[in-house]
Amino acid sequence: MRPLQLTMQAFGPYINKTTIDFESLGIGSVYLITGDTGSGKTMIFDAIVFALYGTASGEGRSNDLLRSRSAGPDESTFVELLFEYHGKKYLVRRNPEYMRKSKRGTGETSEKASAELHFLDGRPSISGLVEVNNQLESIIGINKDQFTQIAMIAQGDFLKILRADTKERIETFSRIFNTKNYRILQEKIKSDCSVYDGEVKKLRDKIIQNCESITPAVDDESKLDYWLSLKNVDDISEIIELIDVAIAENKEELKINEEQNLLKDKSLQSLNEEIGRLENLLALKKDLENKKKDYANNLEAYNLLQKSYDAKKLLVPENDKKKLQIEKLQSFYPQYDELEQNNAEHAKNSKNLNDVIKALSIQKSNVEKLENEIKSFNDELLQLKDVDVDLVKIEHSIDQINKTNEEYIDLNKEYQSYRLIKIELAKAQADAEKAILASNVKSEEYNKKNTEFLKNQAGILAKNLKPGKSCPVCGSINHPKPATLTDSTISKEALEKLKNQSNEFEKKA
């Protein structure tokens, strides 16, 4: 922020309208204001701070003391500041609350505090204390306390920023130099590093776990001991390097084994061929032995059959005689077959008749039973004619009841949560109202006592004023309305204690 022009009227020691043209001082970023004590140096900075933030720069100067005590009742008190920020110009005008001559009648009335902000780039102006304060703080980027710590070296106030805690200094410089994006980037990098560290640890643990399940096929015991010891080291690259070496050695050994296996396969193939040839010879030998046994057995059977044939050949005449008897008996076969067939048909017919009668009786009984069952089924069918419709209605009613029950359970849960929140909110509101009320009481008490204390200080200084000698506060040699002592006897220590109490109540509120 670069001030361009400052105008004050009836503000502190500046009774008449006074304009300071900073542009005539050049484009430097540092201005030096010098002068005797009480000549109004600090009041210039108070005017700039009041224009930007609506309060004086120091803690000991309240807004009701900003109006010049020597100002006439018709003179208005105001401050105008033209400043430039990031290549854009702004004009802000403020006045504190003060008593002025009434426009009607002879009494006095209160002129309320007001503020206006004009944008010189064509945007519409805004007014109102809160609106102007928020807009100016948004434009400049720092609050009043930060501005007073960095914008002016005034009677040791700059030491406050040096004595501030680390958090407060970080916040102040971050807003001044707009390092928020860098802080976000730093936190993002830190978060990513934490994530990557976790992933690296997981991968390392997985590698170690896999290494524990590996036992390299090495003959050298010292190399095996070294391999086992690497499972406990932190440098994963050593383990990976040894694994690569072991893999290369295993590949070479595998290649040798494959060549040896190929030679063994060839030898095995020749051996299998020889075994096959021998097995064929053994099979032929066994087949020959079996055929020899079959020949011996067949020869023995042939001899037995020959003997049997010779014996039966002697019985041929007797057999011829029996053959004639058989032929005679066979001539009676047709008569016997016919008689047997007739007997069989008679028996069969008798049996079939009985079976038919019995079957008809059983069928009749079954028909009667079936008719009764059909009649009962038809009766039940008439009774159950509308059962499907009733069943659908009942199932629909059950679904509605279940749905209503679930809705009731959900609403009951929400109602119980609402009751708890309402009770907690009422309690919090009551506590907040009590704290705000106590804070307002303490704040009013402190403001009243502070004003009385400051007036007494002014009265003490005015008591020693002499005509023709300059005032240590405003530097004027004329003293038309010197301040007088009040009846208040509050000490600075009591005032400071009251201020601390007011701050404590304000924090609680």
* pLDDT tier, 128 (very low <50, low <70, confident <90, very high otherwise): very high
pTM: 0.36
Q: What is the mean pLDDT of the chain?
A: 76
Range with lowest mean pLDDT among 100-114, 213-227, 268-282, 381-395: 213-227
Q: How many other β-carbons are positioned within 10 Å of the β-carbon of residue 140?
A: 21
Is the Cβ–Cβ distance between 448 and 64 less than 8 Å?
A: no
Q: What is the pLDDT of residue 473?
A: 67
What's the average model confidence in pLDDT over 206-211? 70
Range with lowest mean pLDDT among 49-58, 181-190, 211-220: 211-220
Residue 139 pLDDT > 80: yes
- Strongest mean pLDDT among 89-98, 196-205, 323-332: 89-98
Q: What is the pLDDT of residue 387?
A: 55
Q: What is the DSSP secondary-structure string of 380-398?
A: HHHHTTTHHHHHHHHHHHH
* pLDDT tier, 357 (very low <50, low <70, confident <90, very high otherwise): low
Q: What is the DSSP secondary-structure string of 443-502?
A: HHHHHHHHHHHHHHHHHHHHHT--TTS--TTT--S--SS-----S----HHHHHHHHHHH
Query: What confidence tens digit (pLDDT) does each residue in 425-436 have?
Result: 778 777 777 777
Residue 354 pLDDT > 80: no
Query: What confidence tens digit (pLDDT) does each residue in 15-32 have?
Result: 899 999 988 887 766 777
Vertex 363: Cα angle to 362 and 367 (nearest 5): 120
CA distances for 352 relative to 338, 357, 369, 493, angstroms = 21, 9, 25, 139
Is the Cβ–Cβ distance between 56 and 66 less than 8 Å?
A: yes
Q: What is the pLDDT of residue 275?
A: 85
Q: How many other β-carbons are positioned within 10 Å of the β-carbon of residue 334?
A: 9
* pLDDT tier, 353 (very low <50, low <70, confident <90, very high otherwise): low
Residue 211 pLDDT > 80: no
Q: CA–CA separation, 69 vs 16, rounded Å?
A: 12
Higher pLDDT among residues 365 and 126, named by residue: 126
Higher pLDDT among residues 302 and 322, named by residue: 302
Q: What is the pLDDT of residue 492?
A: 76
What's the average model confidence in pLDDT over 164-190? 75
Range with lowest mean pLDDT among 313-317, 484-488, 491-495: 313-317
Supply the Cα-derived Rg of the chain in whole angstroms: 61
Higher pLDDT among residues 39 and 479, named by residue: 39
Q: What is the pLDDT of residue 256?
A: 86
* 3-class secondary structure, 8: strand
What's the average model confidence in pLDDT over 98-120? 86
Q: What is the pLDDT of residue 266?
A: 85
